[in-house]
Amino acid sequence: AGNQTPVVSAVALNDGSNITPNINTTRNVKTTGKITDGDGCSDISAVLARIYFNGAGSGDQCSADFNTCYVIAGADCSSTCQGTTEAWVTCPANLWYHIEPTNDSGAEEWLGTIFATDSANATYKASNPSTVEVVGSLAMTVLDASIAYGSVAVGEHTGTTNQNALIMNIANTSIDAMISGTAMTSAAAAATIVVGKQKWNVGAFDYATAGTVLTTTNTDAVINCPKPTSHEPSNSSDTIMWGLGIDLGTGMGTDFGGKNTLTFTND
C-alpha cells in the first residue's frame, strides 16, 4: 500500500474561548488538535503550529512577530498517541500583552493552525473553525511616581524646573490619562498648600505662564500612548511634568505631602 497522508482535525485555539492578555507580561495560550496517520503515529515526522492574527496579511505562513504571529516549533509541542493512528497534540505559546486586539475588528480574528508532516514528506494543515477574539485591555504604570519638588520659597514657584512622571502603556489599546490631586499638608506646620498650587503639563512648561491647574476632580490629559509594539520595556510612553507655587503667608514646613492620582482612559 502507498503512503497515507496525515490528516489534521479538531483544531482549537484557547479551547475556543476569547483571549484576554495579561497586563505587562505574557499569557500562555495553546493550540490543540488531532493528527490521524493511517501509517501509525510513528510515521508523523514533524509538527508545527502558528497562533496568528488573520488581519496581518500573510495568514498561516506568517513570520514570528510578538504582535501578530507566534510560531511554535515541534519541540515545544506535546503529543499523545491514542490507539495506533491518532496523535493528540498540544502546542503552547506565551503571548505578550501587546498582541493585536480584535474585539472591534469585524471579521479579523486570531487563529491557530497545526501543520503535520510524515516520513514521506506528505503534509496537511488545519485551523480552528470557531471565532477567537483577543480582548482589548487598558493599563498603565507610572514611573518616577514620587514627585519631589525640593525646596520652594514662600511666594515663589518652580518656574521651568519640572518634575517628571513617566506614563507607560502596558496593555494592547491606546490610552489617555485622567489627573486629579489633593492639597498638600505638613505635619510640622499648621499650613496647607491648596491643590490648585500644583500645575501639570504634557511636556516641559514654565509655571509662570503655562500648565494646567491641578484639581480634586479628574481632568483629561491627552497623552501620546498608542498600543505598544514591543515590551521590556513598553515602547509606548509619555511624560507628565509637574510644577509647584507657594503662596505668601503659607506656614514654613519641610515635609509637605499630598496625593496626585493618574488613571487611564480610552484614547
Residues 122 and 144 placed together within one structural domain of the fold:
no
SS3 of the chain: helix, strand, coil, percent, to 5: 5, 45, 50
Q: At which of 106, 127, 148 does a domain end?
A: 127
Residues 170 and 261 placed together within one structural domain of the fold:
yes
Are the beta carbons of 96 and 231 closer than 8 angstroms? yes
Is residue 104 pLDDT above 70, yes or no? no
| Mean pLDDT estimate for the chain | 94
Nearest residue to 244 (alpha-carbon basis) of 204, 213, 219, 203: 213
Looking at the DSSP bridge assignments, the partners of residue 88 are 34, 80
pLDDT of residue 251: 77
Q: At which of 66, 96, 127 does a domain end?
A: 127
Which grid coordinates belong to 163? 518634575
- State how far the Cα of 21 lies from the Cα of 235, in Å rounded to an integer: 17
Confidence of residue 105 (pLDDT cuts 50, 70, 90): low
> pLDDT (tens digit, 9 = 90+) per residue, 192-247?
899 999 999 999 999 999 999 999 999 999 999 999 999 999 999 999 999 999 99
Confidence of residue 2 (pLDDT cuts 50, 70, 90): confident
Q: What is the pTM of this model?
A: 0.90
Q: For position 242, which CATH number holds?
A: 2.60.40.1090
Task: Classify residue 231: in a domain, yes or no.
Answer: yes
Domain that holds residue 67: 7-127
Residues 96 and 177 placed together within one structural domain of the fold:
no
Single-letter residue type at 253? G
pLDDT of residue 107: 82
pLDDT of residue 1: 62
- State how far the Cα of 200 lies from the Cα of 207, in Å rounded to an integer: 9
Residues 104 and 217 placed together within one structural domain of the fold:
no
Is residue 188 pLDDT above 90, yes or no? no
DSSP for 67-129 reads TTEEEE-GGG-EEEEETTTEEEEEEEEEEETTPPP-TTSTT--EEEEEEEEETT--EEEEE--
Q: At which of 127, 156, 180 does a domain end?
A: 127
State how far the alpha carbon of 64 is from the alpha carbons of 22, 44, 151, in Å: 20, 24, 52
CA dihedral 167, 173, 178, 181 (to 10 degrees): -50
Are the beta carbons of 94 and 231 closer than 8 angstroms? no
